């Protein structure tokens, strides 16, 4: 398969069953009452397990389990409560052979999830919120996703002021990558995430999305999450005040998945799995013919 300009291989440490020749689809499983997209739908452990397995059946390669909303303005959750929410779900999915990622800011939650069978730690603060999370991941040999973000959930919106947007984002991600290396995380187990919508206004997210090669230059695979985010609404709504609901942005999400898969990102993080899995398949089918004379 011909890969695009963002391809940087796959992280080490994942099971051989995880595909390596195409963009992966990471399904979002929020076991929270207040997530921006589907808060409350899967707080019941049985419903969460059923949804996680359904996402795998629909084409998810990975399932990202989160017990605390990280949307702008979200209320923080105590790690003990977060663990209560996520640990049984992570364990049940892992026992059924699902490759699980834990979406958390907290070292204690990451440790509990890794003990329960998670293979990836996805920290939207890249270790800023709780630096010990990097050491927990290093000791476990986990894959770590380092996302760009400024501030906390309650302050990030006010911190979207950059001297030079893309170079600033890359420099700040590089600092967190270096912190992860210093904590003992192997370079080949680091994945980078540009953090679209986190401390970025709508047009800024589009610019970062277009210029992902600047982040890929750091030499690590990329995970990109566009799913249902507000910046997509401006592109597809009839006017700037008509944003619709998050679910109304699923078609736009799948469009970005197709573009990202064609460019060779390692994985996309999405709520509605099947359209993005199909988009990845389309990009993979087209890839052998890319670069021809256009006839």
What distance in Å separates the CA atoms of residue 161 and residue 218, rounded to the nearest whole number?
A: 23
* Active-site entry in 85, 91, 229, 263: 229
Whether 229 is catalytic: yes
Q: How many CB atoms lie within 10 A of CB 198?
A: 25
- For 57, 84, 120, 223, 267, the CA distances from 262, given in Å and listed in that order, are 23, 39, 24, 14, 12
Largest Cα–Cα distance in the chain? 59
Helices first, then strands: H and E counts in the chain: 10, 8
- For 17, 119, 191, 219, the CA distances from 12, given in Å and listed in that order, are 13, 11, 10, 14
Q: Is 190 exposed, middle or buried (0-12, 13-18, 19+ CB in 10 A)?
A: buried
Sign (positive or negative) of CA dihedral 59, 275, 271, 110: positive
The residues that are catalytic are 229, 269
């Amino acid at each position: 398969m011909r890969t695009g300009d963002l391809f940087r291989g796959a992280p080490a440490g994942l099971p051989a069953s995880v595909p390596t020749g195409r963009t992966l689809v990471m399904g979002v499983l929020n076991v929270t009452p207040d997530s921006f997209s589907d808060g409350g739908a899967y707080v019941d452990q049985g419903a969460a397990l059923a949804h996680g397995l359904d996402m795998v059946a629909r084409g998810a390669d990975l399932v990202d389990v989160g017990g605390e909303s990280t949307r702008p303005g979200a209320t923080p959750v105590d790690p003990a409560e977060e663990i209560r929410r996520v640990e049984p779900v992570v364990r049940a999915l892992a026992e059924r052979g699902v490759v699980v990622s834990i979406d958390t800011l907290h070292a204690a939650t990451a440790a509990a999830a890794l003990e329960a069978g998670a293979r990836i730690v996805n920290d939207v603060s890249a270790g800023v919120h709780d630096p010990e999370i990097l050491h927990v991941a290093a000791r476990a040999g986990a894959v770590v996703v380092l996302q760009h973000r400024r501030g906390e959930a309650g302050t990030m919106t006010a911190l979207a002021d950059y001297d030079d947007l893309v170079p600033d984002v890359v420099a700040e991600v590089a600092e967190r990558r270096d912190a992860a290396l210093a904590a003992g995380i192997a370079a080949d187990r680091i994945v980078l995430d540009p953090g679209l919508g986190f401390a970025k206004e709508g047009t800024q997210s589009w610019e970062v999305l277009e210029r992902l090669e600047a982040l890929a230059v750091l030499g690590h695979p990329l995970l990109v999450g566009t799913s249902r985010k507000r910046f997509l609404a401006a592109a597809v709504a009839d006017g700037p005040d008509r944003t619709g609901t998050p679910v109304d942005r699923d078609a736009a999400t799948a469009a970005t998945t197709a573009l990202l898969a064609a460019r060779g990102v390692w994985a996309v993080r999405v709520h509605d799995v099947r359209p993005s899995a199909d988009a990845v398949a389309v990009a993979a089918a087209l890839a052998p013919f890319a670069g021809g004379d256009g006839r």
